[in-house]
Structure 1
């Protein structure tokens, strides 16, 4: 099989890159192992929340010059401030075209309310997620009886510290009794599959209408709308006060919804998704990747003009930690990482962990190398890249989206120049 672009990995970076290429008329395919990190995410996207020296960031794009001084190998520093600024705007437009409804702007971070009721700086958040400063004096945090992945009292306690009169309430919802009897099945995604049923939605509205009489807003765990936010909209229109949703412990409904919307957008553009498959090896001629071989296709090669490595970090096996070092398993690419195992982790658990900045070395065009030799048609994007701490710096999703669009731009400009 032959494609214009072949993407290894179906997470946020892989999907965004594939969508951008498909929008430009490229015939693309994604090889995906299965669930992506989006299934475990809050549904919010971070661009840059903190500099390496610990300084908080209010306006991510204005902090890029300082970031370059402190972290010259950060993917944003490699791509260049001007490119990041342009692509951040383009990312918002692409997400909107994919019907991913988010609020926020690349111009400044906002403070979303977390599942613990605290505040966290971020770039874009689902429309349902509340944002500080909260405009309400009284909030009722509503839990679901027996649901352990969301703790209303913890949320209410944090809100009270922010001078909000926060109370708690509990929904019983007999329709969930079957799930409730099996704690391993009583998860947000399974609850959503029940509550998204129109009949059950009416029962939920009835219970929430009672709770909404003596409060300014209701906070509910995000157990609605795996495919879209129509359930939330239907409930909100029937209540006398606003309804907000807070992410739960994984699996995350808001993250899964974003994945489903991006996947649908890619497939509507005639993109081909090869799920449940894994790239096992590659055929290389000179400095070009000429074919990939996957578990499901055996000896049948997959060929493409350009290959995009969006395989993720350790979580999704895009990187592997071995006794002799950290490696990229498909191509054996050059890696930037602490040389000795004892330097991979800091003794203080809450300190920045050096291994999180390990990854594939790339140039300004996001082309990786092997034994110092750059590939001509291979690009690396997303969490597999070196030089950034996605947790401490609050830039994991941003690196995925911006690098995905940057690689797509390099591919399209190279193709245009060759014509």
Structure 2
């Protein structure tokens, strides 16, 4: 089977790259082995929150200049600040066209409220999530209710309230918590494994007495002008939450729960749908076993479901993720990229893979494939002409402590896609 481009991995980076290529007339196939890290995400996308020296980043342009000085091997530093900002803006336009319902953005971070009651900087957030301007130190008075669901342990409203009240931003707020009693969920409470955000959302959409829920919500709100809820109201989008808000006459916001997260699942579904509707082929539940190469080019891939049939393309994109999805594999004495055996950023000594303090930045978080300024992957210090590495499989940065995982995914995805399109037009 022959394609213009073959993408390995169906997460954020792979899907964005595939959508961009498909919309530009390419014929793409995507090998996806199943669940993506998107399904476990908060729904907010980070561009760059913190520099290697620990300094917080408020303005992206300024942060990228400092980042290049402190960490020249970071993917952003390799691509250059101008390219990073251009691709970030390009993604914002794409997200709007795909109706991902993301707000804020631009070149400065805002603050989002986490389910533990902290304020965390980020770049883009779902419109249904409570967000605040960076400069607001003390917020104007509000009466707020944080409402959980009886028996649902993946969202703790009391903990959220207690932590919010410790922050100076909320010192003028009246905050209380309560729990919603929803009889339609009683059948789920018998098994904690079934009492998850996805199951709750499905039950609410199909077995719900809507007016009874409205009455219960208004009662628990106790006259609050804003209500914070766990993200359990709407599996595919936030339309159900909007209907509740209109019926209640109260501003309703949702917060991510412990994984799986509906906010991330919604984005994953929308992106998959966009890729397939644009003509892309999804090979779901499959994984790449091996690759064939000639000189400095990939010539074919063989997958678990196509062991005897070669999949070939003009260009290949590795978006296989990090350790979570086996895009990187930790053997006893080394870290490997299992498909192509790419050159990696990694420590040779196993004792150097981790830091003794659990909360410290862990060295293994920066392990990953080496790329050049065009996102082309490298093997034995040589660029592979038609192989691009994007997203979490790329090394040289700490997605967690630097708050840049989503940004690296979309920026490298679009940079690789545009490079492929440029080569195609030559």
Query: What's the TM-score bracket when you normalise by the shorter of the two chains?
Result: over 0.9
Indicate whether 1:188 and 2:197 are aligned.
yes
- Whole-angstrom distance in 2 between the partners of 1:325 and 1:201: 55
Indicate whether 1:258 and 2:267 are aligned.
yes
Q: CA deviation at 1:228?
A: 1.3
Flag the 1:135–1:208 CA change in 2: closer, same or farther, 3 A: farther
- Whole-angstrom distance in 2 between the partners of 1:203 and 1:78: 56
- Whole-angstrom distance in 2 between the partners of 1:52 and 1:273: 37
Q: Which residue of 2 aligns with 1:9?
A: 9
Indicate whether 1:375 and 2:380 are aligned.
no
Flag the 1:187–1:135 CA change in 2: closer, same or farther, 3 A: farther
Q: CA deviation at 1:204?
A: 2.1
- Whole-angstrom distance in 2 between the partners of 1:14 and 1:408: 10
Matches within 5 A, 1:5-84: 5-84=5-84
Instruction: State the Cα deviation string for residues 164-206 of structure 1 (Å, max 9, x = none).
Output: 2210111110100111110011001111111123744443223
- Whole-angstrom distance in 2 between the partners of 1:295 and 1:173: 44
**Which residues of structure 2 form unaligned runs of 5+?**
none
Q: SS of the counterpart of 1:235? A: helix
- Contact 2:85–2:107, Cα closer than 8 Å, also in 1: no
- Contact 1:212–1:239, Cα closer than 8 Å, also in 2: no
Range 311-320 or range 129-138, more displaced: 129-138
Q: SS of the counterpart of 1:299? A: strand
Question: Which of these residues, 127, 136, 142, is aligned with residue 137 of structure 1?
Answer: 142
- Whole-angstrom distance in 1 between the partners of 2:388 and 2:286: 20
Q: CA deviation at 1:19?
A: 0.4
- Contact 2:34–2:285, Cα closer than 8 Å, also in 1: yes
- Contact 2:16–2:413, Cα closer than 8 Å, also in 1: yes
- Whole-angstrom distance in 1 between the partners of 2:153 and 2:413: 36
Superposition CA RMSD, Å: 1.2
- Whole-angstrom distance in 1 between the partners of 2:262 and 2:212: 20
Q: CA deviation at 1:21?
A: 0.4
Range 333-342 or range 245-254, more displaced: 333-342
Q: Which residue of 2 aligns with 1:150?
A: 155
Indicate whether 1:340 and 2:370 are aligned.
no
Q: Which residue of 1 aligns with 2:179?
A: 170
Q: CA deviation at 1:150?
A: 0.4
- Whole-angstrom distance in 1 between the partners of 2:107 and 2:64: 12
Indicate whether 1:225 and 2:234 are aligned.
yes
Q: SS of the counterpart of 2:220? A: helix
- Whole-angstrom distance in 1 between the partners of 2:14 and 2:57: 27
Question: Which of these residues, 297, 300, 306, is aligned with residue 291 of structure 1?
Answer: 300
Q: CA deviation at 1:88?
A: 0.5
Q: Which residue of 1 aligns with 2:128?
A: 128
Instruction: State the Cα deviation string for residues 15-59 of structure 1 (Å, max 9, x = none).
Output: 000000011011111100100000110111000000000000001
Instruction: State the Cα deviation string for residues 72-106 of structure 1 (Å, max 9, x = none).
Output: 00000011111011101001111112110011113
- Whole-angstrom distance in 2 between the partners of 1:280 and 1:334: 18
Q: Please, what TM-score do these two structures have when normalized by structure 2? A: 0.96
- Whole-angstrom distance in 2 between the partners of 1:107 and 1:201: 41
Question: Which of these residues, 317, 325, 346, is aligned with residue 316 of structure 1?
Answer: 325
- Whole-angstrom distance in 2 between the partners of 1:141 and 1:353: 34
